[in-house]
């Protein structure tokens, strides 16, 4: 990253190759569309190049990248659905393969989560970020990340596992 | 630690995101509480299921596109297939002949009369066609004799090329 900050294009290319698949995957889970996700990843990388000088070697670099990613994805979503919030992503937007039963059910359940819980869940479960890194991305205390993750998992348990019968 | 406290910490416990002291307390509670052990199993199972949500990769998209293309081809194939019961027009199309040729063979064709309308079973037409088949050698001889010195090219199979050239010399 130090090389990228100093304007080394080759270093940035290496960095892009490493991050692009992760960013596309993250954006795909938030936006629900492959092409939009590719566009978003491209924009995130462009912003990363432009904003490299802002990175202060404090906090995790993943945290820095996903903070940019989060802002761009939410803005892109808002652009597409000006009247909708990210909370209201249609649950049918699970890609073009509804026959992938379980994956579609999980996608629908995750997309029904409130925005902050969804972000925490995606960053934690699919992007492998620690609670500390997620707190950096969302700009909230680590304890809040834990609470949101707990609420997200509780909602997903209700959605994915059979209801328990009392007594 | 009571059950609600323990259950609020289960996700962080599974994620290995709690302090050592809390971890010990959660484990002590789990050791003596069957309900919370059950909740722990449910959290673990939920996270295991959630791992099934993966992005469609390039291969997945290609496989789907291929599948859709095959379905379209199947529909086309069904549309192209002649009906099991054919009219005279269907028979002409099926045999690739015109009205005049149909008139010539009409009396030979197995057919069904339905309330004054003539219909042909495709299976019967197929059987009739097989009866009409002439061995290749014989076909070429017929073509030569019947053609009045003019070779009916398309009727000659490639294996009789030598005959064709010798005729051409005449």
What are the tens digits of pLDDT across the range A24-70? 888 888 887 778 888 889 889 988 888 777 777 677 888 888 888 98
Binary contact (B8, A160; C-beta < 8 A)? no
- Cα distance between residue B21 and residue A160, in whole Å: 32
Of A164, A161, A38, A36, which is closest to residue A109 (Cα–Cα)?
A: A161
Picking from B45, B47, B61, the nearest residue to A125 by CB comes out as B47
Contacting residues for A154 by C-beta, under 8 A, at least 6 apart: none
pLDDT at B155: 42
ipTM: 0.73
What percentage of chain B reaches a pLDDT higher than 90? 30
Residue A161 has pLDDT above 90, yes or no: no
Q: Please state the rounded mean pLDDT for residues B111-135.
A: 88
The answer to whether B64 faces chain A, any CB pair under 8 Å, is yes
* Segment 84-143 of chain A within 8 Å of chain B by CB: 95-97, 102-103, 106-107, 110, 121, 124-126, 130-131
Question: Cβ contacts (< 8 Å) between B56 and chain A: which residues?
Answer: 34, 95-97
Confidence label for B139 from pLDDT (cuts 50, 70 and 90): low
CATH class of A2-160: mainly alpha
Confidence label for B55 from pLDDT (cuts 50, 70 and 90): low
Residue B125 has pLDDT above 70, yes or no: yes
Q: Please state the rounded mean pLDDT for residues B136-160.
A: 52
Confidence label for B71 from pLDDT (cuts 50, 70 and 90): low
Helix (H) or strand (E) holding B61: helix B58-80
Binary contact (B52, A106; C-beta < 8 A)? yes
**What are the structural domain ranges in chain A?**
2-160
Minimal CA separation from A68 to chain B, in Å: 21
Binary contact (A153, B54; C-beta < 8 A)? no
- Cα distance between residue A125 and residue A78, in whole Å: 24
Question: Cβ contacts (< 8 Å) between B15 and chain A: which residues?
Answer: 124, 131, 149
The answer to whether B46 faces chain A, any CB pair under 8 Å, is yes
Distance between the two ends of chain A, CA-based, in angstroms? 57
Quote the tokens at residue B10. Answer: 């289960």
Q: Which tens digit of pLDDT belongs to each residue from A132-158?
A: 989 988 889 999 999 999 999 999 999
Binary contact (A96, B45; C-beta < 8 A)? no
Edge-to-edge order in the sheet of strand B117-121: B85-86, B117-121, B112-114
What does the DSSP assignment read for A135-157? HHHHTS-HHHHHHHHHHHHHHHH
The answer to whether B19 faces chain A, any CB pair under 8 Å, is no
Q: Worst-scoring range by mean pLDDT, A23-32, B66-75, B114-123?
A: B66-75
- Cα distance between residue A76 and residue A27, in whole Å: 10
pLDDT at A97: 44
Residue B131, CB half-sphere, CA atoms under 13 Å: how many?
A: 9
Minimal CA separation from A53 to chain B, in Å: 31
- Cα distance between residue A105 and residue A95, in whole Å: 12
**What count of CB pairs under 8 Å joins A to B?**
69
Q: Which tens digit of pLDDT belongs to each residue from B19-53?
A: 888 999 999 999 999 999 999 999 999 999 888 77
Confidence label for A1 from pLDDT (cuts 50, 70 and 90): low
pLDDT at B143: 63
Query: Reduced to 3 DSSP states, what percent helix, strand and coil does chain B have, rounded to the nearest 5?
Result: 70, 5, 25
Q: Please state the rounded mean pLDDT for residues B100-118.
A: 89
Residue B98 has pLDDT above 50, yes or no: yes
pLDDT at B121: 92
Of A72, A83, A154, which is closest to residue A114 (Cα–Cα)?
A: A154
Binary contact (A146, B51; C-beta < 8 A)? no
Of B110, B113, B158, B112, which is closest to residue B132 (Cα–Cα)?
A: B110
**What are the structural domain ranges in chain B?**
3-50, 85-132, 136-169
H helices of chain A, in order, are 2-5, 9-31, 34-51, 61-80, 101-111, 115-121, 131-138, 142-160
Does pTM surpass 0.90? Answer: no
- Cα distance between residue B40 and residue B20, in whole Å: 18
């Amino acid at each position: 990253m130090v090389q990228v900050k100093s304007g080394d294009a080759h270093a940035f290319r290496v960095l892009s190759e490493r991050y692009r698949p992760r960013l596309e995957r993250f954006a795909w889970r938030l936006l629900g569309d492959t092409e939009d996700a590719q566009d978003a990843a491209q924009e995130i990388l462009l912003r990363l190049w432009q904003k490299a000088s802002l990175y202060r070697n404090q906090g995790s670099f993943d945290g820095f990248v996903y903070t940019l990613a989060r802002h761009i994805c939410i803005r892109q979503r808002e652009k597409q659905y000006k009247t909708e919030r990210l909370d209201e992503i249609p649950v049918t937007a699970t890609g073009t393969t509804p026959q992938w039963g379980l994956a579609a059910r999980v996608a629908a359940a995750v997309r029904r989560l409130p925005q902050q819980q969804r972000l925490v869940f995606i960053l934690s479960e699919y992007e492998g970020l620690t609670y500390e890194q997620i707190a950096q991305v969302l700009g909230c205390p680590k304890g809040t990340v834990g609470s949101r993750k707990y609420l997200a998992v509780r909602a997903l348990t209700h959605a994915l596992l059979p209801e328990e019968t009392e007594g | 630690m009571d059950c609600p406290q323990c259950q609020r910490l289960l996700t962080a416990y599974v994620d290995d995101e709690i302090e050592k002291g809390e971890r010990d307390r959660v484990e002590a509670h789990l050791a003596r509480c069957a309900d919370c052990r059950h909740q722990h199993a449910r959290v673990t199972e939920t996270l295991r299921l959630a791992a099934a949500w993966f992005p469609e990769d390039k291969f997945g998209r290609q496989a789907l596109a291929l599948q859709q293309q095959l379905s379209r081809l199947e529909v086309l194939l069904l549309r192209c297939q002649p009906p099991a019961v054919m009219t005279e027009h269907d028979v002409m199309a099926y045999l690739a002949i015109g009205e005049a040729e149909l008139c010539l063979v009409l009396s030979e064709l197995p057919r069904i009369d339905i309330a004054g309308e003539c219909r042909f079973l495709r299976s019967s037409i197929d059987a009739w066609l097989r009866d009409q088949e002439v061995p290749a050698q014989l076909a070429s001889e017929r073509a030569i004799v019947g053609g009045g010195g003019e070779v009916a090219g398309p009727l000659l199979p490639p294996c009789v090329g030598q005959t064709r050239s010798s005729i051409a010399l005449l």
